[in-house]
Amino acid sequence: MNNPNYYVAIMAGGIGSRFWPQSRTGYPKQFLDILNTGKSLIQWTYERFALFVPKENIYVVTAAEYSEICAEQLPDIPLENIIAEPSRKNTAPCVAYISFKLLQKNPNASLIVAPSDHMIADTDTFISIAKKALEFVSKNTAFVTLGIQPTYPNTGYGYIQYDQEDDAGGGIYRVKTFTEKPSLDIAKKFLESGDFLWNGGIFIWKAKDVVDGFEKYDTDTFDLFEAEKHNLNTPQEKEAIDRIYPLCKNVAVDVALMEKAENVYVIPSSFGWSDLGTWTSAYDNLEKDSLGNAVASDNVIVIDAAKCMVSAPSHKLLVLQGLEDFIVIDTPDALLICKKEKEQAIKEYVSEVKKTKGDKYL
């Protein structure tokens, strides 16, 4: 029996520009089958949570222009559970919105907030850890995050340092510090120390505690939502949110709450996590041929090429010869051929496309 006080908010408003040209502003990566599995990333995320949270308690917070795509891809979700943000203001307003909304509905609501576009290979372990976190926050005034056991010194992730001596029970540790994306030297030191984890961006807390946290640490955001809370879960909700969002600061919930609060805990976790933030991370999660090529397509022939990430539509044959360590992404109207080592510059390439070609290919 799924606990009626457990809720999930899937954050699905991002643009995913590092997955260009497959990910576009009008149809970003969370709605794509990046790994050629037959399901989009958000569909995998929803199905994972539906295994242990009542379906009617699963919400999607997305940009207004993606509401219809969410409804198409997630037909089991009630339409009123697809929450449209009128503008992108990072994760703090998104978390405040869903927390105030759920608190009006159920004062005992405990909530998981998670990105829509992460991959988790070991679902059983993930569910076990998520349930442990939900049970902990339901009984304690605490913010919990899931920290990923690092496997190499990644400079693209934030890090969480935790107190290995301060175990609140069952492997739930008090957080000491949050660090944004470090340099390679610092990331190496973090790994050597043994008390740092990757910040996976998955948060668990009671809705009431989050609202109290905004009141204490981010009064501007709290005041905006507090003034309109009586309109949430009513026909006046959209108008209220349209009033609130232009006034919200563009700030991450990590900065607004987590880095300031004292009652923050982390569960060190290993469940085959990847944030699928780049084409190289997709490459890492795909099966490879004998020469190390990862091909996310049914209509590609590879000849004398090695360690390439290839994605192409199945209606067109792609023949690849002679490349090594390249990203090759073909779409009906744009083709990207890029050295893997230059992947971090894809955002710059997208800016160049916008400058020279306008929005047509974005």
Which domains are assigned to the chain?
A: 6-274 (3.90.550.10), 279-357 (no CATH)
pLDDT confidence of residue 23 = 92
DSSP 256: I
Q: How far lies 190's CA from each of 187, 267, 271, 277, in Å?
A: 5, 17, 20, 21
User: What is the reported pTM?
Assistant: 0.92
Neighbours of 227 (CB within 10 A): 12
> In this structure, are residues 123 and 48 in contact, taking their beta carbons and an 8 Å threshold?
yes
Least Cα distance to 45 among 114, 103, 102 occurs for: 114
Neighbours of 318 (CB within 10 A): 18
pLDDT confidence of residue 167 = 80
Low-confidence ranges of the chain (pLDDT < 70): 1
Residue-averaged pLDDT of the chain: 93
User: Concatenated DSSP letters for 140-171?
Assistant: SS-EEEEEEPPSS--SSS-EEEEEEEEE-SSS
Both tokens of 164, joined, read 């290995």
Q: Which residues of 248-272 are buried (b: 16+ CB within 10 A; e: fewer)?
A: beebbbbbbbbbebebbbbbbbebe
Burial class (CB in 10 A: 0-12, 13-18, 19+), 285: middle
Beta strand 143-148 with 264-269: parallel, antiparallel or unpaired?
A: parallel
pLDDT confidence of residue 18 = 87
